[in-house]
Amino acid sequence: MKFVLEESKVQLLKERIQKHKQKPGPLMPTLHDAQNIFGCIPIEVQKIISEELDESVAKINGVVTFYSNFSTEPKGKHIVSVCMGTACYVKGAKAILDTISDMLNIEPGQTTKDGLFTLENTRCIGACGLAPVFQIGDKVYGNATKDTAKQAIEEILKSEA
Amino acid sequence: MVTFDYLNATKIKTEAKINPQNHKNGFRVVVGMATCGLTAGADKVFQTLKQLIESNNLDNIDLAPVGCVGECALEPLVEVIDHQGQKTTYCKVSLQDIEKIVNQHLISGAPVKELTIDNYKNIDSSSLQVRIALRNCGVINPEDINEYICYDGYKALGKVLTEMTPEEVIHVIQESGLRGRGGGGFSTGLKWSLCAKNKGGQKYIICNADEGDPGAFMDRAVLEGDPHSVIEAMAIGGYAIGASQGYIYIRAEYPLAVQRLNKAIEQAYEAELLGKNIFGTDFCFDLELRLGAGAFVCGEETALIASIEGERGMPRNKPPFPADKGLFARPSIINNVETYANISPIVLKGAKWFASMGTQKSKGTKVFALGGKINNTGLLEVPMGTTLRQVIYDVGGGIPNNKKFKAVQTGGPSGGCLTAEHLDTPIDYDNLVKLNSMMGSGGMIVMDEENCMVDVAHFYLQFTVEESCGKCTPCREGTHKMLEILEKIKSGNGTMQDITELEELAYYIQDSALCALGQSAPNPVISTLLNFKDEYIAHVTDKKCPAKVCKALVNYAVVADKCIGCTKCKRNCPVQAISGEVKKPHKIDTNRCIKCDMCRQACPVNAIILE
């Protein structure tokens, strides 16, 4: 997937940065906005932030790559994240991750060639009462099994076909 | 300007709305709508209830979304409170159930017996519980400041600002014996007094809501169910230490908590409970949210500060402690969400009241998130000093499927496991440390005989290796090395020498790592080595995994007596490792088998076993 820098999004980011600059410690809120606006923070975006905040690109790159929620590469349309928190793990989250990984033919952290799915193993999302859980986008699937995972992926494949 | 009269008037007005006593044959109906509930479909339940109440013209009913009720495994939950205060709890409510509840209970006044909680739980887990931090969770609508005020919200802030000096506030908190609920258990009052001593200039008060321990969701429940309790307490803390600016650092993985906090802050500003000259005094206080970005280490206070400042979230050496030199190099206080949730009740009810609960050195209550192999997964709050047995059996309802209790991990990746022999230990900060575990933030993961303790240690270590910020060598390299040894043991290539080295390395790291994350990273290994050394030895000498979890050490086999020769396993095997004729016992070629578990799942008579 190729990253395209859209002018309207750049403008939006710049507006947000002006707002954040009024307060101390503007970098983290800026990066959150950048991630939301562009879906990732590649070097092109880092350069814009660098100019606006008057910080070196090296520093910004250091911060971006430190936090796992920020990504320098575009992600898939659907982000499938399997919770690997303890409660989910002891209740069989690994099997669910493997099932989805086999289905999509990608490893966790990778994106399918068609750009449809990114698979991630995520930190505990705090829904331990319904363990094991996985998430597609914002939707959380509780008490998951290999079958419900398969079904959920198949449904999306169908709707995208 | 906000006044006590305003609080009282709001209380009376809200009481009239939410207390079913004020409506003839009225009810208050609440739906648990925290993350757990929403995942289980509480949103649809709420909408359907709303429609039915409207279409039946039931104007004597107050329907409200509330936070976590605490019974996470039984969501979606609907509670109906009648005009006598009688509460009926409905569990696992489906859309079909709602019609029944509306027709039978809300219209005709007869509870639907077959849908109540008694059908799901045979124990009353509320008897042992004392709710202070969770006092409003599952009771009030977290998105309505008036409901918080109705339950004496912001009264403590008013009292502090108009009747007490900052020194008196700190004194009360210190006297109460409240200790930090985020893990270490440092005295909250003492921390505040250290910061207050630094006179003059800008100071900051920070709430650590970066609840990253896997299996812990206490803070999430408080933030989603009662956000104002944290806001009020931070303002009180700000007054006590002399800070006019507060930050809540919250992990981005909790979008609902973020949303509710933002709304709560907005409402508090509107009511002038935040901002300039609160309660007509000189005290001004501003509060802002800052989002984490998926780094576990940012739960460590100096790393958290670095993150707010816009740096890589790396810890630094202490001293100087944040109370002297913290955020933007100014004196700062960082407390955990649950700690803050205790502040207002202490101010209102007094230090003595709080100190009357708990053990000699650990006062008050503690919220635990009980998960893993346990019947009643959920959130509970018990007085300090309650035993593990009471928590696991009397509140948690024991282990499912009649399996045997093996261990409980407290304190997440920084803690350790406690075993059956520790079941009668009263839980408090000091006892847990004595047993090589720690309170941590309060996650409790129960494990049964099917969990391999080497695998569990490996799991936690994998977590800390991934989350190590890389600043100090013991943590960056040492934990990695430990993980390699554990992997070797898990794969059946370990030796006794490896176990010795693993142990040595663990103690070196404990002694030499820079921050609490690194120092506590070896804890899961140390405590499993202490309590379950036989399992480690079984892995290296017998090349066996007693719990049959470590894939390299188990083999799949067919029990010939049980096998009916249906060929299902053979057809499901992806690598043609199973042979056999129809209606005759099958066999697995262990050399070919990739241990994918497909055959065992396909077998209709459970004839395939692990050995």
List of chain A residues whose C-beta atoms are within 8 Å of the C-beta of residue B40: 130, 142
**How would you class B136 by CB atoms within 10 Å of its CB: exposed for 0-12, middle for 13-18, buried for 19 or more?**
buried
Among positive and negative, which fits the CA dihedral B573, B574, B575, B581? positive
Interface contact A130-B311, CB threshold 8 A: no
Question: Are A129 and B377 within 8 A, CB to CB?
Answer: yes
Q: Does A40 touch chain B (CB under 8 A)?
A: no
User: Which of A67, A91, A140 is the closest to B39 by Cβ?
Assistant: A140
B191 shares its domain with B252: yes
User: Is there a single domain that holds both residue B482 and residue B506?
Assistant: yes
Tell me the CATH number at B351.
3.40.50.11540
Q: For chains A and B, what is the number of CB pairs under 8 angstroms?
A: 134
Q: What percent of chain B has pLDDT over 70?
A: 100
Confidence of residue A1 (pLDDT cuts 50, 70, 90): low
Q: Which CATH number fits domain A78-160: 3.40.190.10, 3.40.50.970, 3.40.50.300, 3.40.30.10?
A: 3.40.30.10
**Interchain CB distance below 8 Å, A128 and B369:** yes
Given a cut of 70, whether residue B369 has pLDDT beyond it is yes
The answer to whether residues B194 and B303 belong to one domain is yes
Facing residue for B40 by CB, picked from A63, A131, A142:
A142
The yes-or-no verdict on residue B294 having pLDDT over 70 is yes
B25 in a structural domain: yes
Domain-terminating residue out of B330, B355, B380: B355
Neighbour-count burial for B193-219, b at 16+ CB within 10 Å, e otherwise: bbbbebeeeebbbbbbbbbbbbbbbbb
User: Which of A23, A63, A140 is opposite residue B311, by nearest beta carbon?
Assistant: A63
Q: Is B611 on the interface with A (CB under 8 A)?
A: no
pLDDT (average), residues B26-32: 94
- In sequence order, the β-bridge partners of residue B364 are none
Backbone angles phi, psi at B438, to 5 degrees: -155, 165
How far apart are the CA of B476 and the nearest CA of chain A, in angstroms? 14
Whether A90 sits inside 8 A of B445 (CB atoms) is: yes
Of B423, B448, B473, the one marking the end of a domain is B448
Q: Do A23 and B288 touch (CB under 8 A)?
A: yes
Angle at B586 between CA B582 and CA B587, to 5 degrees: 150
Same domain, B416 and B466: no
Q: How far is A117 from chain B (nearest CA, A)?
A: 20
Are both B349 and B303 inside the same structural domain?
yes
- Digit-coded pLDDT (tens) for B309-347: 999 999 999 999 999 999 999 999 999 999 999 999 999
State the pLDDT at residue B391.
95
User: Are B460 and B435 members of one domain?
Assistant: no
Q: CATH number of the domain that B475 lies in?
A: 1.20.1440.230
Q: Are residues B56 and B168 in the same domain?
A: no
Reported ipTM: 0.90
- Both B262 and B340 in a single domain? yes
Q: Tally the domains of chain B.
A: 5
> What residues have CB less than 8 Å from B111, skipping those under 6 apart?
B80, B88, B104, B105
The token pair at A48 is 């814009």
Range of the domain at B162: 152-355
Q: Which chain A residues are Cβ-neighbours of B71 within 8 angstroms?
A: 129
* Closest-CA residue of chain B to A84: B214
**pLDDT tens for each residue of B390-433:** 999 999 999 999 999 999 999 889 999 999 999 999 999 999 98
Residues B334 and B235 in one domain: yes
**pTM score:** 0.92
pLDDT (mean) for B266-275: 97
pLDDT at B40 over 90: no
pLDDT digits (tens, 9 = 90+) for B96-112: 999 999 999 999 999 99
Inter-chain residue contact A124 with B214, CB threshold 8 Å:
yes
Do B321 and B201 lie in one domain? The reply is yes
Confidence of residue A136 (pLDDT cuts 50, 70, 90): very high
Contact between B378 and B72 under an 8 Å Cβ cutoff? The reply is yes
Last residue of a domain, one of B119, B138, B172: B119
Min Cα distance A141 → chain B (Å) is 7
Residues of B in contact with A131 (CB under 8 A): 371-372, 377
Spatial CA neighbour of B220 closest among B37, B343, B414: B37
Residue B595 pLDDT grade (very low, low, confident, very high; cuts 50, 70, 90): confident
Q: Give the CATH number for residue B566.
A: 3.30.70.20
- The answer on B69 and B36 residing in a single domain is yes
My answer on whether B75 and B206 are in the same domain is no
